[in-house]
Structure 1
Amino acid sequence: MMTNARMAGADLATEVVLPGIVEPSGLEVRVGPAPEPGPGEVLLAVEASGVSFAEQQMRRGKYYDQPPFPFVPGYDVVGTVLRAGPSTDATLTGRRFAVLTKVGGWSSHLIVKAADLVEVPQGIDPAEAETVVVNGITAWQMLHGLAKIRSGQTILVHGANGGVGSTLVQLAAHAGVRVIGTASPRHHDAVRALGATPLDYRAPDLPGEVRALAPDGVDAVFDHVGGEGIVDSFNLLAPDGMLVSYGTAATKNEAGSSKLPVLKLVGRLLLWNALPNGKHTHFYNIWAGKRRADTFQERLRSDLTSVFGLLADGAITAQVAARIPLSRAADAMELAESGTVTGKVVLVPDSNPESEPKSESEVPSAG
């Protein structure tokens, strides 16, 4: 955090601190000197940072491996390099990059390792680029790395209006895949515009509605919900289908251990993998393979660059639900948790002329 960072210069930095298990209004905004990059590091002027499900879990103390309170949340950022540290490539200065951070991103200035930078193509708006950093990497790796989806197949995406879901739908549709997407009815037009057939996630017989569209089962299900609904996701698979689980949203408000719901879910998936029915399951963790830093970063850079390329070409569109000033992170968290938006809520600098939250009627549903 800033109080323990190397300090330098006259730059003032703003950061949003999660002091403990609090409501969004309990987030704290602090201002102090900007940190100074060390060897192999750069100082980023953060232009966009997202509000994802991870931060929503962190404020509840429910994210699987979050650090001890207090800390600065912020899973990913896009920003421009202000300064390069000693023994760091000086040509990085002035260029725009994306970084996967896990924590620390809700800051106006951020120290990151130069080796972790992924360049953002010219012409892409920072907030739009931000929507496909953790979401784009997650969607790309689940779709192409794990499920290995092919043109002509059919998949089911739960939460198709969400940050990851809306990206998944677009990537799949671009690959020639038929997509069924669950969402609240208020989001069905947006989901349809993204390229999916929408279904109400609260439908009394949702599995029956999916089977009506895919009588032989779906080739893959992407499920961030977990809970008992994961059983339906597994049963909806076609022979040799793949269930990719990547969250436990169903248990987000349950008291108790943050690790137990994940461990129970993983145990269930492993048990299903042992069944002789040809179906496959996998629990996706974006940090898998982190111990092999070079390979991990190379794969991450390659996958995110692929997604950035599609965004730059217009093959997919950024789903920016709202741009909200960093100092109003509490408002951003409340909006992200409201279930009223399509895409991702993005924090932007307070000085940004576009950094005013939109009313629900003004929030874009597909762009």
Structure 2
Amino acid sequence: MTSSTAPVPATITKVVLPGIVEPSGLQITTAPAPTPVGSQLLVRVEATGIAFAEQAMRRGRYYGQPEFPFTPGYDLVGRVLAVGPDGDRQMVGRRVATMTKTGAWATHTVVEARDTVIVPEGIAPEDAETVVVNGVTAWQMLHRAAKVRPGQTILVFGANGGVGGILIQLARHHGVTVIGAASPRHHDALRAAGVIPVDYADPNLEATVRRHAPAGVDAVFDNIGGDMAKTSFALLARGGTLVTYAIAKAVSGTGPLMMPFMKTLGQAVLWSALPNGKKATFYDLWAGHTLRPARFRRRLEEDLGHVFELLRTGTITANIAARFPLTEAVAALELAESRTLNGKVILLP
């Protein structure tokens, strides 16, 4: 193992999710510092965050989550303190962003080099954190899944959320008209961002959207699923694409998760086969991670690199709703789950 001039601590602090508990059941613990093996990196975490994934994991409702207890945290930004024996020693001392899925809510953690990208200097850690998983997701859905072109019109559900907030900025920069579906309390902020706001709970949502896009929209980005996916597909113009990237309705429920996922995938295949030129797909951030690792890595570095450059130049901005010390993870999670925020809650170890 190779270390930087910064000391490698003997112990670390981390948040542990012991089981299906309320946010108050989170535990703050200490543990021996982990040692990187292979090409892994030991990172001193500078910023991590709270997304819908961690909220679902708290309820045991995230598909494929590990067995309890575990440390949550889907992504992070931090400095590399040490590398494993097979690692790149030039990474020591570099600021990096890593997609972790779990484990980021800690002062230090070991991460996989293949899921890690160097953060350009000049970007604050907490700003970079807002666009790691959210930025890759938004960029790939817009440019790879839906292939939206300048001059087109899209509908974004969850427009006030972490992914939605980045997606609408990327789309606006790309010359796309954005209709943003969110609760009315977020509409003023959406208007200020150049977005046409609509209420996702409006019983006349389809008619409301068609007032702005009479022929339909060119793409819909849906994080709700269920019946909303049917409405979304109906709102597409000929040749349009529905991108479902979450099934919040099912995840927030109590039944098995496998059936809603399979139904969503089946609907996408069926709807795409209809003779109307429309397409439907389920976006999976981790697709190809195991089966096509070289392509996964190449796209991660390329796509997150685009987003970081736009952030560095001020073309897009970080949307931070609140900042909390890692030791106040309980209050941070409670606020994130209040669904009153516009932006992402950041934890600062």
For normalisation by structure 1, the TM-score amounts to 0.90
1:40 maps to 39
Paired position in structure 1 for 2:99? 100
Name the counterpart of 1:136.
Answer: 135
Is the 8 Å Cα contact of residues 8 and 81 (structure 2) preserved in structure 1?
A: no
Structure 2 Cα separation of the partners of residues 64 and 194 of structure 1: 33
Partner of 2:324: 324
Alignment correspondent of 1:185: 184
Partner secondary structure for residue 238 of structure 1 = strand
Secondary structure in 2 matching 1:140:
helix
- State percent identity of aligned pairs: 57
Asked whether the equivalents of residues 9 and 33 of structure 1 are also in contact (C-alpha less than 8 Å), the reply is no
Query: How many angstroms does 1:313 deviate by?
Result: 0.8
Greater displacement, 73-82 / 33-42: 33-42
- Once the two structures are TM-superposed, the CA of residue 10 in structure 1 deviates from its matched residue by 4.2
Q: How far did residue 258 of structure 1 move? A: 2.3
3-state SS in 1 of match to 2:207 = helix
User: What letter is aligned with 2:186?
Assistant: H
Displacement after TM superposition at 1:62 (Å): 1.1
The one-letter code matched in structure 2 to 1:223 is D
- The answer to whether the 8 A contact 2:250-2:257 is kept is no
Structure 2: runs of 5 or more not aligned: 1-6
CA distance in 2 between counterparts of 1:219 and 1:235 reads 11
Match of 2:166 in 1: 167
Aligned residues: 342
Residue of structure 2 equivalent to 1:115:
114
1:206: how far off?
1.1
Aligned to 1:253: 252
- 2-structure distance, mates of 1:164, 1:30: 30
Structure 1 residue runs without a partner (length 5+): 1-7, 350-367
Q: What's the offset of the Cα at 1:9?
A: 6.0
String of CA shifts for 1:19-44, please: whole Å, max 9, x gaps: 11111111111112211222312210
**CA deviations over 1:19-78 (Å, ceiling 9, x no partner):** 111111111111122112223122100011111111111111111111111111111110
1:125 — aligned with what?
A: 124
Cα separation, 2, equivalents of 1:200 and 1:32: 46
Structure-2 residue corresponding to 1:63: 62
Output one character per residue of 1:293-340: Cα deviation in whole Å (capped at 9) or x when no partner: 121111111100000000001110001111111122121111111111
Task: Measure the CA separation in 1 of the matches of 2:79 and 2:163.
Answer: 24
Q: Is the contact made by 1:61 and 1:258 (CA closer than 8 Å) also made in structure 2?
A: no
SS of 2:317's equivalent? coil
Please say if 1:301 is aligned against 2:301: yes
Which runs of structure 2 are paired with 1:213-232 in the superposition (5 Å)?
213-232=212-231
